[in-house]
Amino acid sequence: MRNVALGVLLGLVGFACSTEHQEATVEMAPEETRFIKEVFASNLYEPTELAVLPKGKILFTQRRGGIKQYDLNTEELTSYDSLAVFFEKEDGLMGMALDPDFAQNDWIYFYYSPVGDLSVNRLSRFTYTSSGLRNEVTVLEVPVQRQECCHTGGSIQFGGDGLLYLSTGDNTNPFASNGFSPSDETPGREAWDAQRSSSNTNDLRGKILRIKPEPDGTYSIPEGNLFVDDDPKTRPEIYVMGCRNPYRISIDSKRGWLFWGDVGPDAANDQDGRGPRGYDEFNVATAPGYFGWPLFVGKNFAYNEWDFQAGRGGAPYDPNKPINNSPNNTGLQELPPANPAKIYYPYARYEVFPQVSTGGRNAMAGPVYYSDEYQGLDKFPSYLDGRVIYYDWMRGFIYFLELDDQGNPTDWYPFMPNTEFNNVIDMEFGQDGQLYMIEYGTGWFTQNENARLSRINYIKGNRPPVLKASLSKNRGASPLEVLFDASASEDYDGDGLTYKWKIDGEVVTDSAFTYTFSKEGVYYPELLVSDGRSTVREQYVVEVGNEPPMVQVNVTGNSSFFWSGRNVAYEVKVSDLEDDQSDSGVDERNISFDIAHYQSSDMAEALGHQSPVSDGLSIIESLDCKSCHKVDGESIGPSYTAVANRYSSDRNAVNYLSRKIISGGGGVWGEQAMSAHPDLSTEDAEKIVNYILSLGQSSSFPLSGTYQTTEGAGKYLLAASYEDGGKDALKPITGRGEVWLRYNRIAADQFDDSHEVQARGGVINSLFHGAWVSFNQVDLTDIASIQLTHQPRRFRGATISVRLGSADGKEIGQVSEMPSSISSSTIQIDLTPTEGKSDLYFVFTNPDEENELITITNFVFVPKSDAL
């Protein structure tokens, strides 16, 4: 069964970013809920480009040489053929395109790195047959160097006039230039000089070529390219030059414009005497031209000539009269004037183009849509006519751009912004007017479960229901009572919904009900939700007969806090209904128990056997980290486990690594630079680091005993897990229990809720009469008092009341202080002895004072003397 995921819209009416455009357009922007992502295949291995064939077939290439075919009619994915390719670094099978007359001649073009001693990338034409590729004809070869990384380009597109466009990368190692222009003219360092490729009029690299394929497998040069075929210092195939890595290109079939995304360098900040920070670019060529790399980037921001041997800069390059005086340049020295990018953006937030967000970047160009070119009944709406798709492989956004007659964006239509895309690497409209795409997945150079072949369907009429259902339990002992609830399901057209639950041969038509499974076994309940015209379904699994084990970690005394030198008495208790009744009972050898310390007080659950997802891991999942790193195993960057092991004994690791995440950089783990994340807070960066460092921690402790805390910050986690023995055919179940102990000195801004309070940088710096802050579920067992550290010079007097449950709940402590009575930076509030957990409120009052009452830096929970 195909996996169909509906794009969910926060507001039901889609929008474009320009109100002016909407007023001038009769047709409204399509609602996001009219687009459905239909997944055909997952777990792909480095997919690169796709082609939609006639008769319901889709071909896509894989970088390591595989060619896959998906049949829409049979819903089968097969290995169609393969090419023997050199796939080290970024090389491999990169591009594919159908001949414009494919329906008559069955010709298909591939761009790949052939194996062997010849260092070239090759454009070849093959004949497509039902049993594989036949009759290779080499059309063009691009000489490259394979000793050093990087940048291949490799996208193939045909224009409406039948001309073939091919993108090529600069084939230059960027890692010795600190993220700036790689223009190293040192003898023997040619592979580090992009002036020899991108800005070389006599070299095919760093270009977009335009040729006319001939029937005999040769090619001719069309009129209108950048250079004519009568100068030995130019290549007539060049249409666009000055590219770094134009990985995806597209052609406007009606206007003849060329679009491409250019992946930019890594520098996070401008540097005087050297040049601008890195920018990715979205470019439009309405005519042939030079687009700047490596002399310029973005909006023609100029680099300085740089002496790599001396480490000093010269004059900046002139975009109006660029000069390539590199000794590695075999072409013209004076280049055409540089063209600026239409869209350009760094790692950081960039107010010039606020639509592009922040973080890692990898600009791409998708197809231009014209509804009159397709015949499908459910083709995309004409509102999108003439718009080009611009997307970012790393950041995950997709826009349909409306452009003026100069190619400048005038309107940005955000396409399915609430749908997750995992590194879209290519997309193409099929003959049906629907959008087909492949996602590379989140890990580099590997197979990814979320690497997918999909189609985006446009639903012109009735939209299918959105199925939202939950089960109160999906496993347990017999008899097992389960609440089935699908009442949150909805229909965007306002249609009434009907429900059909199929459970063990029975049918239930209520949206929510309770069902009791009386027999042991594995059940597969299925839910069908219908609006009368469309039906969606989902299947669940319920395992009856094995109750999950109960695992408890009990701590004597306070279960919220630790203080330096606290002796924590603990005990792990495990019970399991089935194992307790067996002859052997609960096997303590199957109980795992660890005590771990985390350096940041905001660290969340992260041990390998823990089920809750940490704050740090949640942040990682929301960023581009997963594109370059895995927990274990190779990717483009080091694994998290390797990082944890390297820095396991470095007490400055949290500070160092969190700054590295924010500012970016490279050189520690090899040449590949890490993207900067300048908008990430230090707090969130520390959460990420603490999660990563936790992966290197392992320990084993007795199941009961006393543990002495030694740290003066952060959190301790006491965590246990037990895997039961299963039952008959039912799989074993793992139960978990844990206790978190946080340091008893808490930064003031770490409260959970507040009223009329402002805080930042660890400090409550704005607090008026009637304000309060609260902390959730605090255990006050063995806590004698609470101290507030503050700034005396900013204290104007206040009554501070400590209450349970709410701001007007039971009072367990109070103190009233005026400025004249305060000489220290500590205010102490003695507490009524209180046991157990409760929400804790601090209420601040002074009706006679209109200004801020107090600036608080810390809350300190002071234990009783006999608990020390």
pLDDT, one tens digit per residue, over 523-542 is 999 999 999 999 999 999 99
Average pLDDT over residues 70-74: 95
Model pLDDT for residues 551-565, shown as the tens digit of each residue: 999 999 999 999 999
pLDDT over 60 (residue 753): yes
Instruction: Report the pLDDT value the prediction gives residue 602, as an integer from 0 to 100.
Output: 37
Q: Which residues contact 810 (CB under 8 A, 6 or more apart)?
A: 803, 804
pLDDT over 80 (residue 654): no
Of 259-263, 716-720, 856-860, 863-867, the one with minimum mean pLDDT is 863-867
Average pLDDT over residues 568-574: 96
Q: Cα 57–60–66 angle (5° rounding)?
A: 120
Specify whether the CB–CB gap between 542 and 474 falls below 8 A. Answer: yes
Q: Hunting for tokens 């005086």 — which residue is that?
A: 325
Model pLDDT for residues 383-410, shown as the tens digit of each residue: 999 999 999 998 999 999 999 999 999 9
Instruction: Report the pLDDT value the prediction gives residue 624, as an integer from 0 to 100.
Output: 64
Specify whether the CB–CB gap between 250 and 368 falls below 8 A. Answer: yes
Of 158-162, 616-620, 862-866, the one with minimum mean pLDDT is 616-620
Q: How far is CA 572 from CA 356, 551, 552, 569, 837, in A?
A: 50, 7, 6, 11, 20
Q: Where are the beta strands (DSSP E) in 684-782?
A: 704-708, 715-723, 734-743, 745-747, 753-760, 763-779
Instruction: Report the pLDDT value the prediction gives residue 448, as an integer from 0 to 100.
Output: 84
pLDDT over 50 (residue 820): yes
pLDDT over 80 (residue 650): no
545: left (phi over 0), alpha (psi -120 to 50) or beta: left
pLDDT over 60 (residue 16): no
Instruction: Report the pLDDT value the prediction gives residue 666, as an integer from 0 to 100.
Output: 64
The upper half-sphere exposure of residue 802, i.e. CA atoms within 13 Å in the direction of its Cβ, equals: 24
Q: Could you tell me the pLDDT band of residue 10, with boundaries at 50, 70 and 90? A: very low
pLDDT over 90 (residue 104): yes
Q: Hunting for tokens 């400055």 — which residue is that?
A: 652
Instruction: Report the pLDDT value the prediction gives residue 603, as an integer from 0 to 100.
Output: 38
The residue type of 429 is F
pLDDT over 50 (residue 345): yes
Model pLDDT for residues 160-214, shown as the tens digit of each residue: 999 999 999 999 999 899 999 999 999 999 999 999 999 999 999 999 999 999 9
103-128 residues labelled b (16+ CB within 10 A) or e (exposed): eeebbbbbbbbbeeeebbbbbbbbeb
Instruction: Report the pLDDT value the prediction gives residue 627, as an integer from 0 to 100.
Output: 61
Q: Could you tell me the pLDDT band of residue 667, with boundaries at 50, 70 and 90? A: low
The candidate with the shortest Cα–Cα distance to 287, out of 243, 225, 238, 235, is 225
Instruction: Report the pLDDT value the prediction gives residue 761, as an integer from 0 to 100.
Output: 73
Model pLDDT for residues 505-514, shown as the tens digit of each residue: 999 999 999 9
Q: Could you tell me the pLDDT band of residue 612, with boundaries at 50, 70 and 90? A: very low
Model pLDDT for residues 260-311, shown as the tens digit of each residue: 999 999 888 899 999 999 999 999 999 999 999 999 999 999 999 999 999 9
Say how far apart CA 252 and CA 386 lie, in whole Å. 8
The upper half-sphere exposure of residue 128, i.e. CA atoms within 13 Å in the direction of its Cβ, equals: 24
Instruction: Report the pLDDT value the prediction gives residue 260, as an integer from 0 to 100.
Output: 98
Q: Which residues contact 514 (CB under 8 A, 6 or more apart)?
A: 481, 482, 483, 484
Share of the chain above pLDDT 90, in %: 70
Say how far apart CA 412 and CA 409 lie, in whole Å. 7
Of 248-252, 380-384, 437-441, 730-734, the one with minimum mean pLDDT is 730-734
pLDDT over 60 (residue 601): no
Say how far apart CA 279 and CA 298 lie, in whole Å. 6
Instruction: Report the pLDDT value the prediction gives residue 22, as an integer from 0 to 100.
Output: 42
Specify whether the CB–CB gap between 243 and 262 falls below 8 A. Answer: yes
Of 15-19, 171-175, 455-459, the one with minimum mean pLDDT is 15-19
Say how far apart CA 297 and CA 262 lie, in whole Å. 10
pLDDT over 90 (residue 149): no
pLDDT over 90 (residue 779): yes
Specify whether the CB–CB gap between 593 and 703 falls below 8 A. Answer: yes
First to last CA, the chain: 62
Beta carbons within 10 angstroms of residue 372's beta carbon: 10
pLDDT over 60 (residue 18): no
Say how far apart CA 275 and CA 245 lie, in whole Å. 19
Instruction: Report the pLDDT value the prediction gives residue 599, as an integer from 0 to 100.
Output: 65
Model pLDDT for residues 160-174, shown as the tens digit of each residue: 999 999 999 999 999
Share of the chain above pLDDT 70, in %: 90
The residue type of 585 is G
Say how far apart CA 389 and CA 405 lie, in whole Å. 17
Instruction: Report the pLDDT value the prediction gives residue 492, as an integer from 0 to 100.
Output: 94
DSSP state of 581: H
Highest mean pLDDT among 56-60, 618-622, 697-701: 56-60
Q: Could you tell me the pLDDT band of residue 679, with boundaries at 50, 70 and 90? A: low
H/E/C letters for each residue in 147-214? CCCCCCEEEEEECCCCCEEEEECCCCCCCCCCCCCCECCCCCCHHHEHHHCCCCCCCCCCEEEEEEEC
Q: How far is CA 549 from CA 77, 612, 717, in A?
A: 41, 17, 20
| DSSP codes joined into one string, 772-818 | EEEEEEEE-TTEEEEEEEE-GGG---EEEEEEESSTTSEEEEEEEE-
Residues pairing with 743 in the sheet: 562
Output the average pLDDT for the chain. 89
pLDDT over 60 (residue 611): no
pLDDT over 50 (residue 503): yes
The candidate with the shortest Cα–Cα distance to 528, out of 547, 504, 509, 513, is 509
Say how far apart CA 452 and CA 437 lie, in whole Å. 8
Structure tokens at 269: 């900040």
Say how far apart CA 627 and CA 186 lie, in whole Å. 34
Average pLDDT over residues 470-495: 96
Please state the separation of Cα 770 from the chain's center in Å.
42
Average pLDDT over residues 51-60: 96
pLDDT over 70 (residue 754): yes
Q: Cα 229–230–235 angle (5° rounding)?
A: 45
Instruction: Report the pLDDT value the prediction gives residue 605, as an integer from 0 to 100.
Output: 33
pLDDT over 90 (residue 805): yes
Peptide bond into 294 cis (omega under 30): yes
Average pLDDT over residues 85-97: 93
H/E/C letters for each residue in 429-453? ECCCCCEEEEECCCCCCCEECCCEE
Average pLDDT over residues 44-57: 95
Reported residue count of the chain is: 868
The upper half-sphere exposure of residue 333, i.e. CA atoms within 13 Å in the direction of its Cβ, equals: 3
The H or E element containing residue 530 is strand 526-530
pLDDT over 80 (residue 681): no
pLDDT over 90 (residue 443): no
Say how far apart CA 828 and CA 359 lie, in whole Å. 44
Model pLDDT for residues 112-134, shown as the tens digit of each residue: 999 999 999 999 999 999 999 99
